[in-house]
Structure 1
Amino acid sequence: MAMLNLHILLPVLAQWLTFLTSCQAARYNNGFFYHDLMNGNGNGEIYFNGVRLHVESPNSLVSAARGSNVTLPCYYRYEPELSVPRTTRVKWSWIPANGGSSAIAPSSSARETEVMVAMGNRHRSYGSFRGRVRLRRAAPGDMSLVISELHLHDTGRYRCEVIDGLEDESVTVDLELRGVVFPYFSQNGRYHFNFLEAQQACERQDATLATFEQLFTAWEEGLDWCNAGWLADGTVQYPITIPREGCGGTDLSAGLRSYGQRHRLFHRFDAFCFAASLKGTVYFLHTNKLNFTEAVQACIKDGGQIAKVGQLYAAWRLMGLDRCDAGWLADRSVRYPIVKARTNCGPSEPGIRNFGFLPEDHKYNVYCYR
């Protein structure tokens, strides 16, 4: 009986040993060579022993102008090089720089969203990027993303992920717009915006809530403002170049004063907005002085529209608009831009002079956008 069992078991054991031996050199259909589980760590991990995939970008930060086309560089290669090319899958995803609209949970805005996926000659784009993105493919391994007609909300961190079988490597590229940060407050006075209202206020002025990096750059360039405002990450901060009482005190050095994260619904502050470069032109309309309603109509009649605050700031900082004449803007404020400070044109530093929000029956000239 024992001999019979051994006679039955020997062929089975031989087949099992043959199977185990073949597993020692299993080659998967993606061309990578792996040791099988018997040579692993006992926890289901497969040890890699062959060609390695590398994904790289020569630029981790790309700066571009609003409305332009921009290329985010991404390349992949194998080490050692392959003699026969393989089909890879490429996925571009994105984390917006300007946060989400969540009233309470800022972490919910940090999720990556798909921009584009491609494999071979097939590709698909998503959301607001649909029809505006493509892969450059200027050379073998070039998976750089080309974005057309750059939007104000396209800024953020982009991830280029290359997938080949079990290999998955990625690199990130930050995209920023050239522009200018400006403080903005409600027509009702200081500290009237919760986070969502601050977002909306900036958007109405053709701008977005500034990021910390944008505010820090503005501070380095000399922005000094003693009123706290919301930023895109839900923090409240303000920039001080000249320490003084009432602005953090004289014991603190110059820098950004931070209140940290605030409740996005209940706490109220001003806003720091970011205006990007313009595709159109802001101009002073030569006409008789007008009330606000007449000013709106005058710009429309001239083929444009009354300019927004963000547009005036962008024209001043990025296009050199300099005019010592006060004019209406779309939010019913009266302002004028000064590049070269001079007598009878306000303070001794360049900037946007602000008369505040005035009654609509007051008469001024107007700044238009076309």
Structure 2
Amino acid sequence: MIRLLCLALFFLALANNVYTAEHLQIFASPGDNVTLPCRLDRKPGFSFGGMGNRIKWTKLEDAFNEVDVVVSMGFHKVKYGRYENHAHLQEADENDATLVINSIQLDDFGTYKCEVINGMDETIVQVEVRMLGVVFPYSPRLGRYNLNFHDAEAACLDQDAVVANFEQLYQAWKGGLDWCNAGWLSDGTVQYPITKPREPCGGRRNGAGLRNYGRRDKSSSRFDVFCFTSELKGQVFFIDQKMTFTEAEQACQNGGAELAKTGHMYAAWKLQGYDRCDAGWLSDGSVRYPISRPRMKCSPTEAAVRFVGFPDKKNKLYGAYCYRAQQ
């Protein structure tokens, strides 16, 4: 009897077909429609016809908290909270559990989990929806720690960007961003990302991570800012002449463009792999250059947008980085 029971359990285990896909990543910009793939893969020879699929999509807010998005059992479907108006199941066939989110919003970015069960068949998939864009630290010509929160918002907008949120800075840190100056985030906190712990940046004992100063007074406290810019809807190009700032502005205009903003430069560098070892003017009066392929005399150790400074605008030492928007 025991042997028969063991055999029965063995064959049940074979029938219990569990597929856990690798962690998928999808990149999108705010306003895009995104498709999160998920489908039930049935093992041949085992069928539980008529039982229907139980589909559950949740959003993983953190390690201990999941928020329901969509639950479906046959004809019965329930959508939860803000997803009620802009998410639905694709249902291309009976085994398709793909989730479609229309006009994705900032709060929609993050990691989702799909669970599909049909009898002894089960599929579990995680899909991370990441914002297509780049986080960059910014301080104005006045120098380090001169922006209150409202000035920080304006500074990012001037550079074709917005103040980054925590999730965006966290993802940038996971991607290797290391910056020792504290900056505003959109929730009013002040933080900075450290991948290489060192004494001037919170010490070695604290390890790598986001250093957090907490919430600060938005009017009186002054720091730098972390800005976020999404996909580049145009072209950044370089004019190789030695010019003053005013001459650089005019040269770009002559080419049907404008002096590139810092956000344009970072987007071209990060999202398009723009690489040029020539310092050039940007619209805020700074001089920078983008390096995607580290090399001697340009950026020996890392890919980065190199910052030369805010030189005298009458100094004829630099070329111009221009931006031409898509028509």
Normalised by the length of structure 1, the TM-score is 0.59
Task: Tell me what 2:285 maps to.
Answer: 332
Rounded to whole Å, the distance in 1 between the matches of 2:296 and 2:128 is 42
Distance verdict in 2 for CA 1:145–1:341, change over 3 Å: closer
Rounded to whole Å, the distance in 2 between the matches of 1:302 and 1:250 is 49
Task: Tell me what 1:226 maps to.
Answer: 180
Q: Of the candidates 257, 260, 265, which is equivalent to residue 304 of structure 1?
A: 257
Contact 1:76-1:143 within 8 A present in 2 as well: no
Task: Tell me what 1:361 maps to.
Answer: 314
Offset at residue 66 of structure 1 (A): 3.7
Offset at residue 251 of structure 1 (A): 2.5
Task: Tell me what 1:157 maps to.
Answer: 108
Identity over the aligned pairs, expressed in percent? 47
Rounded to whole Å, the distance in 2 between the matches of 1:224 and 1:142 is 36
Task: Tell me what 1:179 maps to.
Answer: 133
Say which one has the larger Rg. 1
Rounded to whole Å, the distance in 1 between the matches of 2:276 and 2:98 is 47
Normalized per residue, which structure has more strand? 2
Q: Of the candidates 33, 37, 41, which is equivalent to residue 70 of structure 1?
A: 33
Q: Which amino acid aligns with 1:309?
A: T
Distance verdict in 2 for CA 1:142–1:212, change over 3 Å: closer
Distance verdict in 2 for CA 1:275–1:344, change over 3 Å: same
Task: Tell me what 2:13 maps to.
Answer: none
Could you say what secondary structure the match of 1:342 adopts? coil
Offset at residue 144 of structure 1 (A): 4.2
Distance verdict in 2 for CA 1:92–1:366, change over 3 Å: farther
Task: Tell me what 1:128 maps to.
Answer: none
Rounded to whole Å, the distance in 2 between the matches of 1:334 and 1:75 is 49
Task: Tell me what 1:208 maps to.
Answer: 162
Q: Which amino acid aligns with 2:27?
A: A
Q: Of the candidates 102, 126, 137, which is equivalent to residue 146 of structure 1?
A: 102
Task: Tell me what 1:282 maps to.
Answer: 236
Within 5 Å, give how 1:119-138 maps onto structure 2: none
Offset at residue 349 of structure 1 (A): 1.6
Within 5 Å, give how 1:100-115 maps onto structure 2: none
Q: Of the candidates 319, 334, 341, which is equivalent to residue 294 of structure 2?
A: 341
Distance verdict in 2 for CA 1:144–1:302, change over 3 Å: same
Q: Of the candidates 199, 214, 218, which is equivalent to residue 260 of structure 1?
A: 214
Rounded to whole Å, the distance in 2 between the matches of 1:296 and 1:92 is 49
Instruction: Work out which structure has the larger RCO, using CA pairs closer than 8 Å and 6 or more positions apart in sequence.
Output: 2
Rounded to whole Å, the distance in 1 between the matches of 2:313 and 2:247 is 10
Q: Which amino acid aligns with 1:195?
A: F
Could you say what secondary structure the match of 1:324 adopts? coil
Task: Tell me what 2:120 maps to.
Answer: none
Contact 1:192-1:269 within 8 A present in 2 as well: yes
Rounded to whole Å, the distance in 2 between the matches of 1:90 and 1:232 is 29
Rounded to whole Å, the distance in 1 between the matches of 2:79 and 2:197 is 50
Contact 1:196-1:264 within 8 A present in 2 as well: yes
Rounded to whole Å, the distance in 2 between the matches of 1:252 and 1:76 is 42
Offset at residue 200 of structure 1 (A): 1.5
Offset at residue 254 of structure 1 (A): 1.8
Could you say what secondary structure the match of 1:281 adopts? strand
Please, which runs of 5 or more residues in structure 2 have no aligned partner? 1-22, 37-68, 110-126
Task: Tell me what 1:27 maps to.
Answer: none
Task: Tell me what 1:294 maps to.
Answer: 247
Rounded to whole Å, the distance in 2 between the matches of 1:256 and 1:312 is 25
Rounded to whole Å, the distance in 2 between the matches of 1:333 and 1:194 is 20
Q: Which amino acid aligns with 2:189?
A: T
Rounded to whole Å, the distance in 1 between the matches of 2:206 and 2:197 is 7
Rounded to whole Å, the distance in 1 between the matches of 2:239 and 2:193 is 34
Normalised by the length of structure 2, the TM-score is 0.66
Contact 1:90-1:143 within 8 A present in 2 as well: no
Q: Which amino acid aligns with 1:242?
A: K
Rounded to whole Å, the distance in 2 between the matches of 1:216 and 1:142 is 27
Task: Tell me what 1:41 maps to.
Answer: none
Offset at residue 243 of structure 1 (A): 2.0
Contact 2:287-2:307 within 8 A present in 1 as well: yes
Distance verdict in 2 for CA 1:236–1:134, change over 3 Å: closer
Q: Which amino acid aligns with 1:146?
A: N
Could you say what secondary structure the match of 1:189 adopts? coil
Q: Which amino acid aligns with 2:34?
A: T
